[in-house]
A and B are shown apart, each in its own frame.
Chain A
Amino acid sequence: MYKIAIGNITYRFDNLKDVMAKATPARSGDDLAGISASNMEERVAAKMVLAEIPLQRFLEEPLIPYEEDEITRLIIDTHDQKAFAPISSLTVGDFRNWLLNDHTTTDDLSYVAPGITPEIAAAVSKIMRNQDLLLVAQKCSVVTKFRDTIGLPGRLSVRLQPNHPVDDLKGIAASIIDGLMYGCGDAVIGINPASDSIPVLMNLNYMLDDIIHNYDIPTQSCVLTHVTTCTELINRGAPVDLLFQSIAGTEKAMAGFGVNLKMLDEGYEAVKSLHRGTIGENCMYFETGQGSALSSDANFGVDEQTCEARCYAVARRYHPLLVNTVVGFIGPEYLYDGKQITRAGLEDHFCGKLMGVPLGCDICYTNHAEADQDDMDNLLTLLVAGGVNYIMGVPGADDIMLNYQSTSYHDALYVRKLLNKRHAPEFESWLKKINLIDEKGDILPFKPTNKLLQIEKMEAVNG
């Protein structure tokens, strides 16, 4: 039982998870779960209670029981006491002050990251404003490598997302050419296939591999399919760079995705053994998003933001190259409008980075949410200012396979120009070599003779 008196009202909270849920900034998913604060004063009261709770308490009172959930066991069993030691005597409120202090350096944050549990990261984020989330996230550094280097200061990478509703090879190749000409693709060239048929997925893998190798592009490919399907592709000899999986914050919600830690362990070993990276060995790619645990009735009364942060504990076990929250994809019953989507995107990026996970963001919305492209512009600008590792590049921001809107190739140009962000260094050198950008990194006028336009004639593209 936690309580606080404000004037002549005493606010009581049953347990730590109740404090956390009621302290969370308003969002439709927590209302749907029936766990949010009943009024604004109660929400602030919960934040005040939360600020006084020692960080140590989160190690003693798991929000989801240790015995019932393998992700709780992962969090507790792998907790790094040595890394936690410098912050172990702080309350949540003092932890916020410590994070924002100018004497707390990037190195300090990297040192304590393995000691920060998802619940601790989520707790402190709940008493932080948007600017706090950005300032601290920008101070974190999480750099990963496979064929290029992602997450360096002053850099921004982009996933080229060339989806097609029936996985047509030429249709996908056309979107890849378009994206590469705009300088996108340094995070990954990643396809969400419409099909889960093995022969179709094999062809997609071969096509991406041929394009990357023929044009000597310092990037990696990924066909985003279930871990078991991808393992099957590896067994059949497909050229798989990165293993992908959607993950969630509880064992039960993971089961809803048909996955558990053992399966991820096996998939990780399989893809790692291929040694396809040239400059690094980060070879996993995860996607997450607030609301997924509740949507499979697997949230255990825990607020959706804390469930999301628990995904990052799963992710960091596998030293991933890429992790992104797909922040507005799930719909308005979990994040109602542009304001809630924006807040969630900033929270997820902050929590991931604080825990040492290489967060990117699919800045996106569906057509039944109260949001539009202006909201995406705002969140894009904020996240890139805060040092997000990568964003999505979708032709014209309109994904014709998944039926939602994200950020476009043009949006990437915009935000690079506005905030002076360069590509991953290896990719930048390649773009210069093929005359797509100038010495300053600005995009050059397109030439019909550019050899990338020959991609459509490649054998792998024509089946």
Chain B
Amino acid sequence: MDENHYLTVKAENIRENDCWEKLKSYTDARIALGRTGCSILTNDYLAFSLAHAKARDSIKMPFDRDRIGKELHAMGLETINVESSAVNREIYLCRPDFGRRLSERSKLLLDELNYQGADVLLVIGDGLSSKAVHKQAVPFIRQFLPYMDELGMTVGPVVLAKQSRVALGDDIAERMHCGLVATLIGERPGLSSPDSLGVYMTYKPYCGRMESERNCISNIRPEGLSYGKAAFKLAWLIENAYNMKKSGTALKDQSDDIQHYLTLKPHIKDTDILNIV
């Protein structure tokens, strides 16, 4: 047997490429991967593993509150640190009820603070992706605050909440006597979006508010919903929530429709807003 017979598959034939690569321009789905036998090729397997690793790491990444605090202080905002009752990440993942309740220490802190209230309270929670919060929260707030000036609404100190679920914001806002809470939180990460921020807005927040009483803005990141669009959407929701005195399913998001504008208009300087009207 001569040495050529050891390799019955020639190197150039190992990859059985799919002949529809051009369809990849229509979707981010992992199509036209090609194959070797029945199996995906080494590079695609490793690319998938990397995406999974990034998503997993974004869940376990600790919430760097000092960094976010510094950036917010530079914008002239005050911050307060609180924690949920979930003392670590493992408990946080298994006990969503703990993530919705403040720790005894944080309850005491907020009660002693005796904050007299604001129209809008911003809570930043790590949720399921600290990476999302680190990347998206501050740029989003920067675009958002000018709308509150326009409405003449007061914004309280920003609360930085560790191991938090969405509903933790209700407890915080109730103890701080605020009329409305917007919780910025890291969303459940996907392979193609490990750093997506969600915002949940609740009018007259208190412990025990139902999920159907909130409005949600999802997929905030440069590759998804831009900061500018998301900031206007939240501002629109806040103006309308105060106007209608409710939030949730009773308040339908029509911020994309100029017919439904009250006093606020999207800021033109953010060029991507032009697309929505």
Could you list which residues of chain A lie within 8 angstroms of chain B, going by C-beta atoms? 28, 31-32, 162-165, 168, 170-175, 177-178, 181, 331-333, 336, 366-368, 372-373, 395-400, 403-405, 408, 410, 413-414, 416-417, 443, 445-448, 453, 456
Contacts and interface: CB of A to CB of B under 8 A. Distances in A.
A170 B26 contact: yes
B188 interface: yes
B164 to A, nearest CB: 14
B contact patch SS: loop
A414 B36 CA distance: 11
B240 to A, nearest CB: 21
Contacts of B18: 178, 181, 446
A367 B191 contact: yes
A174 B31 contact: yes
Nearest to A456: B23
B93 to A, nearest CB: 5
25 contacts: A28-B94, A163-B29, A168-B26, A172-B27, A174-B23, A175-B29, A177-B20, A181-B18, A331-B188, A332-B93, A333-B95, A367-B55, A367-B56, A367-B59, A367-B188, A368-B128, A368-B189, A398-B192, A400-B28, A400-B192, A410-B35, A413-B35, A417-B38, A446-B16, A446-B18
A188 to B, nearest CB: 18
A32 B32 CA distance: 42
Given A367-B56, A368-B188, A410-B40, A174 B193 contact: no
Nearest to B224: A165
Contacts of A366: 188
B31 A403 contact: no
Contacts of A163: 29
Chain B: interface size category: 35 or more
A273 to B, nearest CB: 32
A178 B193 contact: no
Contact of B29 (A162, A404, A413, A446): A162
Contacts of B56: 367
Contacts of B44: 396
A399 B193 CA distance: 11
B192 A453 contact: no
B253 to A, nearest CB: 13
A190 to B, nearest CB: 15
B51 interface: yes
Given A367-B191, A453-B19, A456-B26, 14 more contacts: A32-B95, A178-B23, A332-B93, A367-B52, A367-B190, A372-B52, A396-B40, A398-B29, A400-B29, A403-B191, A408-B30, A414-B39, A443-B38, A446-B16
Given A181-B18, A396-B33, A373 B38 contact: no
B33 A403 contact: no
A395 B59 contact: no
Contact of B48 (A177, A333, A396, A413): A396
What 8 A-B pairs have minimum CB-CB distances, sorted nearest first?
A: A396-B30, A403-B190, A171-B27, A413-B38, A174-B23, A178-B31, A367-B55, A395-B29
B157 to A, nearest CB: 30
B23 A177 contact: yes
A173 B23 CA distance: 9
B24 interface: yes
Interface string B35-64: 101111000100010011001100100000
Contact of A410 (B19, B20, B38, B94): B38
Contacts of B96: 32, 333
B57 to A, nearest CB: 10
B29 A403 contact: no
A57 B214 CA distance: 45
A160 B94 CA distance: 32
